[in-house]
Amino acid sequence: MTDDLTVVLDRLDAWLEGNAPADHVALNPPATQEDIDAIADRRFLLHPNLVTWLRRHDGVTAAKGHNGPGALLPEGFILHAAAGMRAGQRAQEEAIAEWVDENESEDPDLRDIYDGVYGYAFHVRWVPIATDITGGKLIIDHRDGDRFGNVLYGLQAGDTEGPVKVWDSLSHMFQDLLVTLTEGTEIRLPGYADPVTPRLVGSDNDAFVRWE
């Protein structure tokens, strides 16, 4: 399997168009460069994989929710458009400000104890890219070093631990998705008890992938 995200997305688009046309139709057109730039707005450098994905598809439109066309990822994750990613990153900043206001008066050193991660769940360089029905999120980590570009899972209400790494990169995420779809193999995300397998439901132009 290639590491070239453009090639992977070409193959994924082709598979969806031929096998799950309702999912293919749910894929949005490319995001504008203005919308892509607005996600970070010069706060940090966006990972190239994320830029490549958004230049292909500005997320999905899942009109029937987490169990219908457009919920391409396991467990019904719906991929955000660039505007949703921007809103998710800004929500992280707001949550950090609130958390610091509530806690820093007790211990001024709290700014540093989580390597910039506040209350286990917030970092200014985490960009949520998809949300499941429970509110859990897939996040692209934009911190420096080996973490840059990792895909994390977490941020559910009541979490007492930070997000966990699910994939090394967005490219690997889409590679795994492509293999799972084309070969019908199972996949399991951390935080979920059981693996799931893709199954095509519907017929003709209404066919889409459901994870069971």
Q: What percent of the chain has pLDDT over 70?
A: 85
Question: What is the predicted pLDDT for the residue at 112?
Answer: 52
pTM over 0.85: yes
Largest CA distance in the chain: 61
Question: What is the predicted pLDDT for the residue at 119?
Answer: 59
Question: What is the predicted pLDDT for the residue at 161?
Answer: 66
Sign of CA dihedral 5, 9, 10, 12: positive
**CA–CA gap between residue 63 and residue 70 (Å, rounded):** 8
List, for residues 106-148, the tens digit of each pLDDT value: 665 555 545 566 656 778 899 999 999 888 899 999 999 999 9
Dihedral, 39, 73, 141, 93 alpha carbons, nearest 10: 50
Question: What is the predicted pLDDT for the residue at 118?
Answer: 64
Helical H segments across 32-81, by residue range = 33-40, 48-56
Mean pLDDT in order along the chain per 10 residues (212 residues): 83 98 98 97 94 98 91 93 96 80 63 57 89 90 94 71 87 95 89 86 95 92
Residue 90 neighbours by CB distance under 10 Å: 14
